[in-house]
Amino acid sequence: MEKLEDIYEDGSIGAPSCSLFAEKLEPCQLVIFGATGDLTARKLIPALFALFVDENLPKPCSIIGCGRTVLDNDGFRQLLVKNSPVDLAGHPRWREFVSLLHYRAIQYDALHTYEELAVFLKELDKRVGTDGNTIFDLAVPPDLYPLISAKLVEVGLSLENEEGRGWSRIIIEKPFGRDLASAKILDAALHRGFSEQQIFRIDHYLAKETVQNTMIFRFANSIFEPLWNRDHIEYVGIVSAEELGVGSRAGYYDQAGVLRDMFQNHMLQLLAIIGMEPPAGFISELIRDEKTKLLRCLRPFAAPGQEDALILGQYGAGKIQGRDVPGYRRENGVRGNSLTPTFALLRVHLDNWRWQGVPFYLISGKRMARKDTRLVIQFKEVPHSMFREVIGDKVGANRLNFGIFPEEEINLSFQAKVPGPRICLRTTKLGFKYYDDSAGPVLRAYEKVLLDCMRGEQMFFWRQDGVELAWEFLEPVLESCEMCGEREERLKFYEAGSWGPEEVRGLMNILMA
């Protein structure tokens, strides 16, 4: 087990952090439903503890775990230590942190347990002094979102600024529905007691530094935004490659597949950030307005010329880091004849003035050669080569690469002369790593998400109109994937540890170089 300061969340190396928000945050209670589950132990508690260690939690603050398992406070704390991927108990401040942790057993479908929770929260709030401010984090299976939110509404826990209550907020994780119809049903259930301003739909990709800094890079540097259009850009690649297989998520994943798991949320949000128009100001609603406008520009999947826009794959047996791994159909919990795709390449176009004719390649897959998430902006070749007589017609085009994982960095490739008497060109890079020479705070994705919710900042959370537009675009893709008569023939198998099906290897080799 690693130490907290050495590894956190995604395996990246930790760095010293400094207090950023503690003095600005209002006190609050954080209530975690599903507190005995995997998400709480792996993500939420390590994130909250890291914020506590760096003095970035509000003061005062209480953390209340809720779950079906009957436990007392000490049992809950011991369970977290046991299931956490980091050595919580070995940290000198863990004993101090556990004083913030409380536990309440709850039956998700029993109203009286919510009534008891409401009484407990009110008493704890008065004792600790959290001013009636409460966040409800639903770290539970998606089918429980409507049930839990309805019970919270019934006992008055969604109310704000009434009877001594401060603000009330609710956090839900993806998926936001299984399709457009279920997304609307979920939204209606949430809005029976919570306003849109109270709902925080997490997409932890949007909390990553490189993703957030893509906007800064575009709109704060005059040398790039004038080139950010169809006149200068050949294509855009958005890649999220995973080395891991389906793991313990087979029950969910075999029903969802890669398109529901990755494209409706992460991939389309990355597309929106890369392609959106400049907002009038760095204000949450203005930025979310522009992302929504961008999603409205997506060319329908069924439009003419889109017949070859989707390539689907499923991983077979292979080797990962020299170790034999089974194919998807041999994973525990997966049907032996499953046609669920674990890889997808989707070529999309944006029908607007800026991007007309520029293809965007959205690519995600499991059991790939390595874990690597990046945004690639491929510029066009020079229109005329003055070096034709010396080196031939081909001069390598510039490429801008935003690394999200494993390195958070930006690299720009360009041509330079090789030293010596002959005229030979070589491709070299200008590089920038986000954490080099930085004295600022280092916040991992879940730390940033939780802090933003405590601040009431929704800039990097989904808004309902964006959720519905994403589903509207993706539903014809899903129909093509799941309901066509040639479903089995369309599924391309690829070896685990490769860059996907043979049909995409050429593009993948270019993007991942």
Q: Indicate the residue type of 498.
A: S
Query: Is there a catalytic annotation at residue 266?
Result: yes
| Nearest CA-CA partner of 263 in 508, 478, 511, 407 | 478
Residue with tokens 């129909």: 479
Question: Count H helices, E strands: the chain?
Answer: 16, 18
Rounded to 5, what percent of the chain is helix, strand, coil? Answer: 35, 25, 40
| Nearest CA-CA partner of 102 in 83, 84, 128 | 128
Give the ranges where 203-359 is alpha helix by DSSP (H). 209-219, 250-258, 268-275, 284-296
How many CA atoms are closer than 13 Å to the CA of 457, on its beta-carbon side? 18
Residues 6+ apart with CB under 8 A from 383: none
Altogether, the residues listed in the chain come to a count of 513
| Nearest CA-CA partner of 342 in 247, 257, 240, 241 | 257
CA-based angle 451:290:219, to the nearest 5? Answer: 80
Q: What is the CA radius of gyration of the chain?
A: 24
3-state secondary structure of 378: strand
Residue 498: both structure tokens together:
């490769």
Q: Indicate the residue type of 263.
A: F
Residue tagged active-site, from 191, 266, 349, 384: 266
| Strand 168-172 to 134-138 pairing | parallel
Our measurement of the distance from residue 380's CA atom to the centroid of its chain's CA atoms, rounded to an integer in Å, reads: 30
Residue 310: both structure tokens together:
């989707």
Task: Catalogue the active-site residues.
Answer: 266
